[in-house]
């Protein structure tokens, strides 16, 4: 049955409340926040727009190692993952959100055999945690997944038996849906999604990608090193016709699944791979990034009757100019804002995919932006944060600088921004 748009909005509103607990001002539950799109709810928050090492810094806590995961927050706890430079030790920090003091420090996985990253873009600790009342879930791809009791600091369950050769390190973040913890495993050897019982860690369902690969030689050998099969994406949930679906871009194809049982609903094909950007929802459409190669931004019509390959029937527009490889986009009203890795900021009209304007923010960008109090915050690998006012032209509100660069995306709790640099975690607030 097809539900009217008004009922779909009501259903989805109830879903968001039950799924994320995310409208509370003191939680930031996932990569890109409770709604998964970087938009800060319950504004105004009176977040700072200007800061430096000497201004509007409540605390600054050193985080040893190298990990690009974003912070997650539940009330007075901030959790971040961590890894040694060589990936042989992987763990996590729990930090007091008020004081910056370390509450817990964990070494969760010791690895004898670690495949070299082979680049400076990724880390062994790039997947962000996900958190809910009483539990935090830490994921390092095939190296291991663990659930921790946030009140006691004790491990509830641990899995180290999920195969996937990430080749250049893991990157996909875990997500919660009802009683399930869903993991995305897109490596050069295996590509699948798997749902675990969040209370016990036991497998509930596992779905292999049905991608039609074009890198196989006549003799059956894979051409190249398998890079074209990898992805680092995090699923996005939305409501279509009164039913929740999970949209998960992978190499060469984007899939919609039923998160309850993992069954594939539809797919859209393209040439990209190593997707890292998280998809965003605009009205009855989902906007996906095809990843490396020649990145495209594709708008797909969300249709409750869609089944099978819908590339030719449901793609509204497909653009490739000034599309980022890593950073996720953000939506304000009918426009989408995104920055390339090299700092070319573009505002798109979401109705037709046409550029409204483009400008330059000097630097390189990997982290995904946030929108709060009518401002968009872009954090660069050089330690800058550009605060812009969305609209029909480029409007720079402020340009801030800290001592180290940003690979991780920021989090927000209350009136504070929690920003992780390559060396420290900062709490930024108007003082």
The residue with tokens 């927050």 is 73
The fraction of the chain above a pLDDT of 70, given in percent, is 94
| Residues 367-403 as b or e (16 or more Cβ within 10 Å = b) | bbbbbbeebbbbbbbebbbbbbebeeebeeeeebebe
The pLDDT of residue 330: 98
The pLDDT of residue 219: 82
**pLDDT tens, position by position, 323-379:** 999 999 999 999 999 999 999 999 999 999 999 999 999 999 999 999 999 999 999
The pLDDT of residue 50: 98
Q: Is-contact 380 369, C-beta < 8 A?
A: no
* pLDDT for residue 1 is more than 50: no
**pLDDT tens, position by position, 25-64:** 899 999 999 999 999 999 999 999 999 999 999 999 999 8
Please report which confidence band the pLDDT of residue 20 belongs to, taking 50, 70 and 90 as the band edges: very low
* pLDDT for residue 8 is more than 80: no
**pLDDT tens, position by position, 71-130:** 999 999 999 999 999 999 999 999 999 999 999 999 999 999 999 898 888 999 999 999
* pLDDT for residue 9 is more than 70: no
* pLDDT for residue 4 is more than 80: no
Q: Which of 213-227, 303-317, 376-390 has the lowest mean pLDDT?
A: 213-227
The pLDDT of residue 19: 42
Structure tokens at 181: 């913890």
* pLDDT for residue 11 is more than 80: no
Enumerate residues 6+ apart whose C-beta is below 8 A from 391: none
Bridge-based pairing of strands 236-240 and 308-309 is: unpaired
Mean pLDDT of 174-182: 98
**pLDDT tens, position by position, 206-248:** 999 999 998 888 887 888 788 899 999 999 999 999 999 999 9
The residue with tokens 């009501």 is 10
Q: The domain 5-211+225-428: what is its CATH number?
A: 2.130.10.10
Torsion of CA 221, 226, 229, 230, to 10 degrees: 160
Enumerate residues 6+ apart whose C-beta is below 8 A from 168: 117, 118, 119, 122, 227, 230
pTM above 0.75, yes or no: yes
Structure tokens at 209: 């990608």
- Whole-number Å distance between alpha carbons of 419 and 396: 20
* Residues forming beta bridges with residue 81, ordered by sequence position: 92
Structure tokens at 120: 């400076």
The pLDDT of residue 23: 47
* pLDDT for residue 174 is more than 80: yes
Q: Break the chain into its structural domains and give their ranges.
A: 5-211+225-428
The pLDDT of residue 10: 44
Please report which confidence band the pLDDT of residue 17 belongs to, taking 50, 70 and 90 as the band edges: very low
* pLDDT for residue 155 is more than 80: yes
The pLDDT of residue 118: 80
- Whole-number Å distance between alpha carbons of 406 and 383: 6
């Amino acid at each position: 049955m097809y539900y009217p748009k008004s009922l779909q909005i009501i259903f989805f509103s109830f879903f968001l409340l039950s799924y994320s607990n995310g409208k509370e001002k003191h939680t930031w539950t996932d990569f890109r926040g409770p709604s998964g799109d970087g938009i800060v709810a319950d504004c105004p928050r009176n977040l700072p727009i200007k800061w430096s090492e000497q201004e509007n810094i409540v605390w600054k806590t050193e985080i040893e190692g190298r990990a690009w995961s974003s912070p997650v927050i539940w009330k007075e706890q901030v959790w971040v993952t961590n890894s040694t430079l060589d990936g042989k030790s992987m763990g996590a920090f729990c930090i007091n959100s008020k004081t910056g003091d370390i509450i817990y420090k964990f070494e969760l996985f010791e690895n004898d055999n670690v495949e070299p990253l082979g680049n400076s873009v990724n880390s062994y600790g790039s997947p962000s945690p996900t958190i809910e009342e009483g539990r935090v879930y830490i994921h390092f791809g095939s190296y291991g997944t663990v659930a921790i009791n946030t009140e006691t600091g004790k491990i509830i369950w641990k899995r180290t038996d999920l195969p996937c050769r990430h080749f250049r390190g893991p990157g996909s973040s875990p997500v919660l849906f009802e009683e399930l913890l869903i993991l995305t495993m897109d490596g050069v050897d295996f590509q699948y999604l798997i749902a675990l019982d969040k209370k016990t860690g036991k497998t509930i369902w596992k779905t292999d990608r049905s991608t039609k690969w074009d890198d196989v030689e006549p003799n059956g050998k894979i051409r190249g090193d398998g890079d074209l099969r990898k992805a680092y994406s995090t699923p996005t949930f939305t409501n279509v016709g009164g039913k929740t679906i999970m949209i998960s871009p992978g190499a060469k194809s984007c899939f919609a699944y039923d998160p309850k049982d993992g069954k594939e609903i539809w797919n859209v094909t393209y040439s990209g791979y190593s997707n890292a950007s998280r998809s965003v929802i605009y009205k009855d459409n989902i906007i996906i990034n095809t990843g490396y190669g020649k990145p495209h931004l594709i708008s797909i019509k969300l249709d409750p009757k869609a089944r099978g390959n819908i590339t030719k029937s449901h793609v509204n527009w497909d653009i490739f100019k000034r599309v980022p490889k890593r950073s996720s986009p953000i939506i304000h009203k009918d426009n989408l804002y995104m920055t390339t890795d090299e700092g070319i900021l573009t505002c798109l009209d979401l109705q037709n995919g046409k550029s409204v304007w483009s400008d330059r923010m000097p630097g390189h960008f990997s982290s995904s932006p946030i929108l709060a109090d009518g401002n968009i915050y872009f954090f660069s690998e050089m330690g800058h944060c550009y605060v812009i006012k969305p609209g029909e032209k480029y409007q720079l509100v402020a340009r801030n600088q800290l001592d180290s660069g940003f690979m991780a995306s920021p989090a927000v709790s209350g009136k504070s921004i929690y920003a992780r640099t390559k060396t420290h975690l900062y709490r930024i607030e108007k003082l």
